[in-house]
Amino acid sequence: MDSTSDRVARWCARQCVRQGAAARVFTGAEVQFPFYRPGLSEANVEAGAFVGALSRADGLVLVSPTYHGTVSGLLKNALDYANDLVAPRKFLEGVPVGCVAVGAGAQGTASTLTTLRTIGHALRGWPTPLGVTARDWADDTAVAPDAMSPEQFQARAQMTVMISQVLSMAAANAAAPARQALAASRG
């Protein structure tokens, strides 16, 4: 089944690629891992692949449906596997994290967005200044911009800014070691 959150995540990935980044989407169906226990990612191929992708990620965009005012249990469980990250960094240390909450109501999506940002902080990531709630979504191939509802247009515009923030923060992180080496060489 193709969920709205999966479609939003794929849209975000396409925007990342358009801006020159590589992107990998993990759909809800792909993160149906066993309940997290330390070290389980070594025994579960799918969970191990997810942890490997997290370890290589220069930036993340977390997209969650709103279920009873909070994030999906599948996403929360998948993110618990970040506890198995040890190299090249502990958890998501310094990784920019964009957050998108998808749902029908303003209260639930706002609560879910807050939870996503809190999880990003707890994992030592850097949530972007802009987080997004998407309450009315249509795929970009299905609806022309002039035919979108104001809510659809606003969500896309905000996600575009959020993705730019993730990518610019990731670029700054990548440039930091070079600046540090240059400063060290100047003595």
Rounded to an integer, the average pLDDT of 113-123 is 98
Residue 84 has pLDDT above 80, yes or no: yes
C-alpha 51/C-alpha 45 separation (Å) is 10
The residue count for the chain: 187
Q: What is the pTM of this model?
A: 0.90
- How many domains does the chain divide into? 1
Predicted confidence at residue 159, as pLDDT, reads 96
Model confidence pLDDT, tens digit, residues 33-60: 999 999 899 999 999 999 999 999 999 9
The CATH code of the domain that includes 168 is 3.40.50.360
Please write down the long-range contacts of 31-39, taking CB distance under 8 Å and 24 or more positions apart. Answer: 31/74, 31/75, 31/77, 31/78, 32/74, 33/77, 33/78, 33/81, 35/77, 36/77, 36/80, 36/81, 36/83, 38/83, 38/84, 39/84
Percent of the chain residues topping a pLDDT of 90? 78
Domain enclosing residue 78, as ranges? 4-185
Predicted confidence at residue 93, as pLDDT, reads 94
Residue 86: pLDDT band (50, 70, 90) is confident
Predicted confidence at residue 21, as pLDDT, reads 95
Model confidence pLDDT, tens digit, residues 127-181: 999 999 998 777 655 667 777 888 888 999 999 999 999 999 999 998 876 555 5
Predicted confidence at residue 152, as pLDDT, reads 87
Across the chain, mean pLDDT equals 91
